[in-house]
Amino acid sequence: MTSQLRDALRATAEDVPTYPVYERALATARRSHRRRLVAAAATVVLVALAGVTVPLTRTPALDPAGADAALPDRLGLPPIGTLHVTDRPRIGAASVIFSGTAPRLRGWIDTSIIGLVGADSDHYRIMRVGGEAAAGETVYLSPDGQQLARPDGDEDEPGVDVVDLATGRTRHLKSSVTNTVASTPVGWSADSASLVVRDDVPVAFDGATYTSVLSIVSVDGGRWTRLASGAEEARFGSTVAAAPNRLAYQYGRTVAVTDGQGRELSSFLLPDEAWLAGKGAWGPGGATLTVATRRPATGEWTLRQVDPRTGRDGEPLRLPAVTGMLSIRLLGWAPDGSALVAAYQQDPDAAEPPLEEQTGPPATAEQVSSVRVLALTPGATAPRTVLTAPAQVDAVDVADQVIRAGRVRDAEPPGGVGARFWLWTGLVTALVAGAVRYLARRRIRRWLDDRRARASGY
């Protein structure tokens, strides 16, 4: 090779751009490291989600509250992070719903929380309801235990929401009552296909007084059939009881009986200190109605049968009296003839109820410290407690089908924390780890560069 050729090749080689092997290697390593970190963060998030969602997607076949349905003998407060009624796995059917003033039953910004217990197990769920809500008074469990009715809280277009516990879907039933400002469910039909709803309509522009409008509403199509209307003070629908193709409801001192289409069949007056006993007021055979009577001198509550056509006393009930309670509500009848009642213990620190409420059934929303379910068995000398609840659980409703099943099971309410707690904990952990990694990226990069430089001998 001549010297001229060698010089020419050298000059040509000097003009060729050099390949930055070390710098490119560092850049490639950094990209790979970032990808690994992103993959690790994504894995953490997926694992957190999988802890809740993967097992939840395997939803077993859901049965209504039927063959295995049973009443739990005690309730517990929902754990922090309890799944909602719309989360998977669906609860399918509930045996009991409950509410109260306990911290775990109160949400943010004037929100109430309704607790639910599965029909055949201690699977707990919660449902948030805007404003004040009470189980068995403004929120009702359907007779088959598969649906919940609640006020929708919409002031512009009032209506009622029906939550399907098997699918998690919510059906909105917009009120057809003109000028209504609030719609509240007050009871179910016996076949769970219709609701009885009360609407509040202002009489004057300033809303100083209201008219109550009572309607039957079909759940499937939202067909509204008017039952009755009158002054708010009469408390239309303060108690609603359903039998196959029949309804009984109270307003003032009057009980009206209608058919399933809302046509009135009869009505009668109740004496003082007597009220339609509750949603289970129809007797086991549907031939009689049950009235709850309070003796002012002793505060003792008793149940008696009346003829639904005339209101006259029927055959005496050999049921024990309930003492020491602010009020009772008849939930239904067990197969052995026992009457199951929700018994409300009075809060000694509660204020005296307003005068307009003292003429109706004793209020339970703000004057109760606790609630329990009692069985009044024919021939027994005293009521038997079949369900207890923690303090500050002051309202309860039980599915009719669970009552008719006649079984009470030993309950083990869940403790610890719920699945939503772990979900949010995993997500927050992943986000914090990602934020720390991003903020420390330069320091990590310098450490990696120094480590690789030492490894390569530089």
pLDDT in tens, 36-56: 555 555 554 454 444 444 334
Q: Which two tokens stand for residue 88?
A: 């998977």
pLDDT at 60: 36
pLDDT at 446: 75
pLDDT at 54: 38
Q: What number is the average pLDDT over the span 123-149?
A: 95
Q: Which two tokens stand for residue 427?
A: 């997500």
Residues 434-454 as b/e (b if ≥16 CB within 10 A, e otherwise) read beeeeeeeeeeeeeeeeeeee
Angle between helices 441-456 and 419-439 (to 10 degrees): 60
- What single letter denotes the amino acid at residue 101? T
pLDDT digit string, tens, across residues 423-441: 657 677 777 777 766 666 7
pLDDT at 285: 87
Return the closest-CA partner of residue 391 out of 349, 331, 341.
349
pLDDT at 222: 79
Lowest mean pLDDT among 154-158, 174-178, 181-185, 317-321: 154-158
Q: What number is the average pLDDT over the span 93-110?
A: 93
Mean pLDDT in the chain? 85
Sketch the domain layout of the chain as residue ranges.
21-53+425-456, 59-417
Q: E strand or H helix at 151, and its extent?
A: strand 147-151
pLDDT at position 369 over 70: yes
Write the DSSP symbol of residue 104: G
pLDDT digit string, tens, across residues 263-283: 999 999 999 899 999 999 999
Q: How confident is the model at residue 455 (pLDDT cuts 50, 70, 90)?
A: confident
User: Can you tell me the distance from the alpha carbon of 56 to that of 234, in angstroms, rounded to the nearest whole number?
Assistant: 47
User: Which residues, 6+ apart, have CB-to-CB distance to 123 below 8 Å?
Assistant: 91, 117
Backbone dihedral angles phi then psi of residue 101, each to the nearest 5 degrees:
-105, 5
Q: How confident is the model at residue 63 (pLDDT cuts 50, 70, 90)?
A: very low
Burial class (CB in 10 A: 0-12, 13-18, 19+), 88: middle
Q: E strand or H helix at 163, and its extent?
A: strand 159-164
pLDDT at 109: 80
Q: How confident is the model at residue 350 (pLDDT cuts 50, 70, 90)?
A: confident
pLDDT digit string, tens, across residues 176-214: 999 999 999 999 999 999 999 999 999 876 667 899 999
pLDDT at 95: 98
Residues 107-144 as b/e (b if ≥16 CB within 10 A, e otherwise) read eeeeebbbbbbbbbbbbbbbbebeeebbbbbbbbbbbb
Backbone dihedral angles phi then psi of residue 17, each to the nearest 5 degrees:
-65, 140
Paired sense of beta strands 339-346 and 327-333, if any: antiparallel
Q: Which two tokens stand for residue 135?
A: 């189980």
pLDDT at 339: 98
pLDDT at position 297 over 90: no
Q: How confident is the model at residue 27 (pLDDT cuts 50, 70, 90)?
A: low
Say if CB 404 and CB 335 are below 8 A apart: yes
This prediction has a pTM of 0.81
Return the closest-CA partner of residue 311 out of 340, 289, 283.
289
User: Which residues, 6+ apart, have CB-to-CB distance to 369 below 8 Å?
Assistant: 345, 346, 347, 348, 350, 391, 392, 394
Q: Does the bond joining 89 to the residue before it have cis omega, within 30 degrees of 0?
A: yes
Q: Within 13 Å and on the Cβ side, how many CA atoms surround 96? A: 32
User: Can you tell me the distance from the alpha carbon of 276 to that of 284, in angstroms, rounded to the nearest whole number?
Assistant: 15
- Check residues 452 and 370 and name the one with the higher pLDDT: 370
Q: How confident is the model at residue 61 (pLDDT cuts 50, 70, 90)?
A: very low
Architecture of domain 59-417: 6 Propeller (2.120)
Q: What number is the average pLDDT over the span 97-104?
A: 95
Q: How confident is the model at residue 365 (pLDDT cuts 50, 70, 90)?
A: low
pLDDT at 199: 96
Q: Which two tokens stand for residue 142?
A: 């359907």
pLDDT digit string, tens, across residues 381-409: 999 999 999 999 999 999 999 999 999 99
